[in-house]
Each structure stands twice: as C-alpha cells, then as structure tokens.
Amino acid sequence: MDEQQAKQRVEELHDLLNEYNFAYFVKDDPLVPDSEYDARLKELEELEREYPSLKTMDSPSQRVGGIVLDAFNKVQHKTPMLSLGNAFNEEDLRDFDRRVRGQVGDNVAYVCELKIDGLAVNLRYENGSFQRGATRGDGETGEDITENLRTIRSLPLRLREPVSLEVRGEAFMPQRSFKALNEAKIERGEEPFANPRNAAAGSLRQLDTKMAASRNLDIFIYSIADLGELDVATQADGLDYLDNLGFKTNGNRVRCASIDDVISYVNEWMEKRASLPYDIDGIVIKVDSLVQQEELGTTVKSPRWAIAYKFPAEEVVTRLIEIELNVGRTGAVTPIALLEPVQVAGTTVQRASLHNEDLIKERDIRIGDRVIVKKAGDIIPEVVGVVESERTGEEQPFSMPTHCPECGSELVHLDEEVALRCLNPKCPAQLREGLIHFVSRHAMNIEGLGEKVITQLFHEQLIADVADLYRLTKDQLTSLERMGEKSAQNLLEAIESSKSNSLERLLFGLGIRHVGSKAARLLAEEFKTMSALQSATIEQLVSVREIGKKMAEAIVLYFDNEEVQTLLEELSSLGVNLTYTGSNRATVEDSDSFFSGKTVVLTGKLEHFTRQEAKDAIEDRGGQVTGSVSKKTDLLVAGAEAGSKLDKAESYGVTIWDEERLKEELQK
Ligand code: IVH
C-alpha cells in the first residue's frame, strides 16, 4: 500500500468507525459485533503508526487518553454560559408562561427537555472537526478539558457535515458506570464518589486523560451556542439538526403547545425519572421559536425564554433502628438517627442528625418507626417525618437523657438554648472532639492526624489534652494498630512543624466558645501575642472589628480558667509558638478552595440552604461573607428575587452566581 492508498483507507476507516461508534454509543443500536469494531480500529492504528502524517486529532483512535496535562488552560466563552431561573411548582410555571406571553403574545410553543444532572460543557467544532471543549466555570471563563472530553465515545470527533459551530450540552456519568466505579473504589479502599454528578466532574478534572477514558462518561447536547449562518428557526429544529450532524441529543423532548401540556410532561417525568439509566434533577422548558427567544432576551443571570423546573428533593422511607447520642466539642449533646441503610439522592444514608429533642417531639419520631428521609439541599440527610400508618405499637418514644452519656455529668440548657449541654470540661467526648478540632485543617492543620488516629491515641491514653500531642514519641505512635515506622515519622514531623504556626491557628484550635477561624485571625492580628490577649479586657476586645460582647465575655472567661493558663504554659515550654507571625493565616492562603480569600455577598431567597448554612460553608472554605456589595466584592450569590444588590454587583462587574452554581462549588 502506498501513501495515497493508505490515506484513502484511513478515510474509509474513519467513516466506518464513526458510523459504528455512532450506532453503538449514540443510538444504542450496534451495527457490528465488538470484534469487528476492534479489528477496524486496530487496522487504523497500524496505518497511523506506519504513516504518522495521516494521524489527525479527530481520528477515532484518539479516544483512549494517554496525555498527561500539567494544568487546564482557561478558555473565555464566546457568549457567556448563563444559568436558568428555577420553578418549584405549577404556579411558578404558570407565572413563567404569563411573563412570556406578556412579552411575545399568545402564540407560544415550548420545548420540554430532561434536565440532565451532570456538568455543562461548551464544544467548538471547526469544519466539522472537534476543536475544543470547556467547562462552564464562572460562565465567562471555563477550563479547557478538550482531551478529557475526547474520550467520551458519544461525543463526535468529526461531524457529518464540515460545519463550524459551538454547541452546549451536559456531560454525565450513567448510573451503571457510577456503580461500577464506586464498587472498584471501595474495593481498593478508596473513598467512593457521593453521586454520579460528582463522579463526572471529578473524572473530567483529571489531568491524566487515561483516567477520564476509563470512566465511561456520556454526553447529551442540548443547544447551539452560536448559530452563525445556520438556518434554524426553532429549538426543536435545532435539536433535530444536531441529531443529523451526529450529536447525541436526548430523545425524550416534547414540543408543547400550552403550559398545561408542559405541566403534564413535568408530572409524567416526576413519576418516571427513577426508570432512567442516568440522573435528572428537573425539566428544562424553553420557548421554541428562536425569534421569540431573541425578543425575550436575557437578564444578567439567565434567559427569559427558559426556566428549569426542579424536582423536589427525593424522599425515601426506611426504619429508624436507634437514636444515638453524640457529644460534641462544645458539650452539645445531639441525637443521631441510626437508619436501616437506604439510597437517597445517589448515596447510602445510615445516619442523620435529629438536631434536638424539640424536633423529635415536634415530628413525633419514635424508635422503630418507618421514617421519611430526604437530603436538605440534596446534601445533608434529614428525617422529615414518620409514616404513622405503618406503626405497629411497638415503637418507643424517645427522651433525652438527663446526664451525659459519656461522663455522667448533668446536662443543662444554657441561655434558653434548645441544645442540651454537658458542662464538664474533662468529659472524654468533649476532649476527644476538641483534639480532633485542634489538629483539623483550619486549626493547627496537622496532616496525617485525623479523627481515627486521634481516637486511637485517646483510647490508648497516650493523649489527654492538646499539649500531650507535642509529647508523643515514635515508639508510642508505632505501638498503634496499623501505624508503620514511616507514617509515625511523617506524623512526628507534621506535629513538629505545626509548632511554628501563627497564633490564629492555635487560637482557633483551642476551641474557645464563639471564636471561629475568622475571629481568631482578627484577634491575633490585633493582639499579636497570646499573653496580650490573655490580659485583654472586655472593653479592649469589643473594640476589635467584628468582635461582639458575647464573644468578648467568652474569651475572658476562657482565659480566667487556671487549667487553661497551665495548658498555655505547657504549650509554650513544649516549643509551640504563641505569637502572630502573619505567615500562615488560618483558612486563607493555604486553602485550595475556590472561596479562599474571597469576599462573598449572599442575596435573594436561597432554596437549598439557610443563609447561615451558606455563610458557614463559605467561611469554612476560607471565604468571607459580607452584607453589602462593594468594588471589593469578589462574588455575589443571587437567590430568587434578588434586588438592588444584584444591580449593584452588575454595575461593578462582580462575578454573579446563582444558587445552583454555589451548590456545585460547595459539593467539590
Ligand atoms: S439549557 C441558559 N437544557 O442545567 C442556560 N440546560 O442552569 C441554558 N442542563 O448547568 C441551559 N440539561 O448545563 C439546558 N436540556 C437542558 C439541560 C440543561 C441540563 C443544565 C445546564 C446548566 C443547568 C441550567
């Protein structure tokens, strides 16, 4: 075969393999047995080896991965990747329809599509050839994940016509791939992914493309981002056109002539969603006519011509086997529901916080009950009620104990709190939890010392307080189960290096009531040394920005305690730094979170979190949440009905996210 003949054969093999691939991965209707596909692929690979100049990036041989990147490049989107406004019930849908008809008249049709629960991506094709694929990022700029996307078999590397266009779609992990992946992870002793969405995101963020290739991802394309010269008049036609080009679109779309039909479609899929082989989290409703879409336009955040109906959080029923009590670092005793393991929103749930006795009474939750479990914001499992009709009479009402389950001290309610607290500072549960907090990432950040090792050390009575950590010897560490020489050495080094942490880490780690990591930093910056802080008066403390009276009183009370004074002396003589060095500020510089060091404003109604939950989650990741928008604001999270803060943020050019985007980032 000469080069000319090879070139022709390579072209034939491209076409053949693309057709086989399309039939198998897009249409789910294979044309040939796998062995035939493999034989043709091998033939192509051999020709490409012999004539390297015939190997192109859109060759079917280019799907196996093998490239290892250093980092993902940033990609500026040609047109911003907006998000969608949400509808949570029929009324929201009717409001949307009224708004649409108010603007473009009554002659409106909608296209309803499944809202695939994966990752939005933008794909660029030139002359029919896949050029570049990027994540959504902040909507303006995403990351170049071309090499990973190339491994998705249903993503065409070459279109059936040599057109240039940009399309958008959702990359996702089918449930079957997810199950297999997690089983393999568990087998290897690794942490499984929480849900298919995270697994898809994690896979596309791998720098080694072989990893992504092994994950069996899939993709549905749902829109043309840049119509250019294309002659397409409606969303429905656009999807058909994408089909004809060889893209995988979702076949469950329906054109609806009225909002009543839309509502029927939504209700139908609410019932049927569990039967799909991939996760959906709602339905997307789009005005069909592109002329009308144009007329309706977009707000900063989202198009006015589309809306996402979000399914209510999945609820499942399981049995409440027992209520366990957990004593936290601050002595708060929390009842925890132990459940018969059950799948909810993609993960197995067997524990859920019941928060406090009032909540248990209010929901009349009894041991042995069949209970309804859902995940708040699809993240935190919660018992929302009981199935009373399934009671047998054997169920046992629950009351909180009067004494601490760990140390036997009497439990009290402080300052009309609902929480019951154990006030014994020597309570082993509190000490253990306090130690876990002390070594945690935002406190002393001692790598290798997690909950497990601390619990072991505590049980073996090798540590009773935080000073003991600095007295540990190698022999003591290696005496622990599953602790080798090397790990023990690493641990000792991590403990040693924590001695030079700047003051704020120690302050936060000590777990003084009301003193979070941010307050610890402000205090350290202000007072510079532990002894200056120890002798500070309430007046001096409250004069520090953001330090209130309650916190000031808690600080004075803490340092008044003789045992605390002894502990600090011990820490000092063990070589632990008690001064502010400003070199390793807790929570900010060393955190790899997106929020680290960023100033964030929350506005509008949040659906998935309370304000406080969102604030805590952002601050835990090193961000700062403030009340008003200024030029210094890095990010505004706008919930429903966001008002003037949104306008202001827009005028300052502040990055704006919807709640969905926040949720996405917090799940990372
Ligand atoms: S249309 C202007 N159609 O849902 C945004 N989005 O906020 C137009 N999604 O992350 C999006 N399935 O990636 C559209 N059939 C579908 C979709 C879909 C899933 C995702 C999208 C984005 C979010 C919308």
542: pLDDT strictly greater than 90: yes
Of 82, 84, 197, best ligand 1 pocket probe by most atoms within 8 Å of the beta carbon: 84
Going by C-alpha positions, the residue among 223, 384, 261 that lies closest to residue 313 is 384
285 lines ligand 1 (CB under 6 A): no
User: Could you tell me if the CB of 197 is within 6 A of ligand 1?
Assistant: no
pLDDT attached to residue 587: 42
Query: Separation of 377 CA from ligand 1 center, angstroms?
Result: 19
CA distance 141 to 254: 32
Among 86, 111, 112, 115, residue to substitute to test ligand 1 (most atoms within 8 Å of Cβ): 115
Outline where DSSP puts E strands in 89-217.
Answer: 110-116, 119-126, 129-135, 141-143, 165-172
Measured between its terminal Cα atoms, the distance across the chain in Å is 52
Kindly state if the Cβ of 284 falls inside 6 Å of ligand 1: yes
Run of H or E including 557: helix 549-560
Q: Could you identify the atom of ligand 1 that is nearest to the CA of residue 253?
A: 15
Fold of the CATH domain 75-310:
D-amino Acid Aminotransferase; Chain A, domain 1 (3.30.470)
Ligand 1 pocket, 113 CB below 6 A? yes
Range of lowest pLDDT (180-189, 316-325, 329-338, 429-438): 180-189
Of 583 and 565, the structure prediction assigns the larger pLDDT to 565
Residues 287 and 100 sit within 8 Å (Cβ to Cβ): yes
pLDDT tier for residue 377 given thresholds of 50, 70 and 90: low
Please report the pLDDT score of residue 668 as a whole number.
Answer: 64
3-state secondary structure 370-434: EEEEEEECCCEEEEEEECHHHCCCCCEECCCCCECCCCCCEEEECCCCCCEEECCCCCHHHHHHH
Q: Which of 27, 42, 74, 115 is catalytic?
A: 115
Q: What is the pLDDT of residue 665?
A: 78
Alpha helices in 205-252 (DSSP H): 209-213, 235-245
CATH code: domain 315-397 is 2.40.50.140
Query: Is 122 near ligand 1, meaning CB less than 6 Å away?
Result: no
- Cβ(305) – ligand 1 distance below 6 Å: no
SS3 9: helix
pLDDT of residue 590: 37
Q: What per-residue confidence (pLDDT) applies to 125?
A: 95
State the Cα–Cα distance between residues 18 and 16, nearest whole angstrom: 5
What distance in Å separates the CA atoms of residue 428 and residue 550, rounded to the nearest whole number? 26
* Strand stretches in 455-529, DSSP E: none
Contacts 24+ apart (CB under 8 A), 558-562: 558/510, 558/512, 558/513, 559/533, 559/534, 561/425
Asked whether 223 lines ligand 1 (CB < 6 A), one says: yes
Tell me the three state secondary structure of residue 545.
Answer: coil
Does position 393 have pLDDT exceeding 90, yes or no? yes
Q: What are phi and psi of 607, to 5 degrees?
A: -95, -40
Superfamily assignment of 587-666 in CATH?
BRCT domain (3.40.50.10190)
Indicate the CATH number of 3-63 among 1.10.287.610, 1.20.1260.10, 3.20.20.60, 3.10.20.340: 1.10.287.610
* CB 664 less than 6 A from any atom of ligand 1: no
Contact 236, 288 (CB under 8 A): yes
Domain chopping of the chain, boundaries: 3-63, 75-310, 315-397, 587-666
Which atom of ligand 1 lies nearest, measured to the CA of 250? 15
Residue that is written with structure tokens 């985007």 in the block: 661
Burial (CB count <10 Å: 0-12, 13-18, 19+), residue 505: buried
Contact 662, 611 (CB under 8 A): no
* 653/134: higher pLDDT: 134
The region of weakest confidence among 250-259, 392-401, 626-635, 645-654 is 645-654
Model confidence at 495: pLDDT above 90: yes
Summarize the confidence of residues 44-65 as an average pLDDT.
92
The angle, 0 to 180 degrees and rounded to 10, between the axes of the packed helices 562-573 and 549-560 is 70
Q: Looking at the predicted structure, is the pLDDT value of residue 598 above 80?
A: yes
- CA of residue 284 to ligand 1 center, whole Å: 7
Q: How close is the Cα of 23 to the center of ligand 1, in Å?
A: 25
Per-residue pLDDT averaged across 557-565, rounded? 93
**What ligand 1 atom has the least distance to the C-alpha of 82?**
2
Confirm or reject: Cβ of 253 under 6 Å from ligand 1.
Answer: no
What mean pLDDT is predicted for residues 408-433?
89
Judge if the beta carbon of residue 308 lies within 6 A of ligand 1. yes
Task: Give the pairing of strands 332-344 and 141-143.
Answer: unpaired
Q: Per DSSP, what are the bridge partners of residue 342?
A: 349
pLDDT grade, residue 494 (50/70/90)? very high
For residue 626, the SS3 value is: strand
Worst-scoring range by mean pLDDT, 188-197, 305-314, 510-519? Answer: 188-197
Regarding the beta carbon of 86 and ligand 1, being less than 6 Å apart is answered: no
**Residue 586 in this model has a pLDDT that exceeds 70:** no
| Phi, psi of 65, rounded to the nearest 5 degrees | 80, -165
> Quick one: average pLDDT of 199-204?
92
Strongest mean pLDDT among 106-115, 476-485, 617-626:
106-115
Q: Do domains 3-63 and 75-310 have the same CATH topology?
A: no
Distance in Å, CA 286 to ligand 1 centroid: 10
115 is catalytic: yes
Residue 246 has pLDDT above 80, yes or no: yes
Nearest to 408 by CA among 422, 394, 420, 425: 422
Nearest atom within ligand 1 for CA of residue 286: 1
**Per-residue confidence (pLDDT) for residue 383, from 0 to 100:** 92
State the Cα–Cα distance between residues 396 and 369, nearest whole angstrom.
8
Does the structure show a pLDDT above 60 at 585? no
> How far apart are the C-alpha atoms of 482 and 488, rounded to whole Å?
10
- Is 50 exceeded by the pLDDT of residue 589? no
Residue 496 structure tokens: 């040693």
Amino acid 182: pLDDT = 87
Going from the Cα of 169 to the center of ligand 1, the distance in angstroms, rounded, reads 7
Pair 20, 40: CB distance under 8 Å: yes
DSSP strand pairing (141-143 vs 74-76): antiparallel
Would you state the structure tokens that stand for residue 178, as one six-digit string? 């997810």
Atom 13 of ligand 1, residue of closest alpha carbon: 120
Ligand 1 centroid, distance to 161 Cα (angstroms): 26
More confident of the two residues 623 and 601: 601
Q: What is the full DSSP assignment across 294-341?
A: HHH-B-SSSBTTEEEEEPPPPEEEEEEEEEEEEE-TTSEEEEEEEEEE
287 alpha carbon – ligand 1 mean position (Å) = 14
Distance between Cα 305 and ligand 1 center (Å): 13
Q: How far apart are CA 576 and CA 598, in angstroms?
A: 30
Beta carbons within 8 Å of 500's beta carbon, 6+ residues apart: 577, 581
Atom of ligand 1 nearest to the CA of 113: 15
Concatenating the DSSP letter of every residue in 352-375 gives: EE---HHHHHHTT-EET-EEEEEE
pLDDT of 132 over the 70 cut:
yes
Buried b (16+ CB within 10 A) or exposed e, 615-632: bebbbbbbbbbeeebeee
- Give the pLDDT band of residue 568 (cuts 50, 70, 90): very high
pLDDT on residue 584: 52
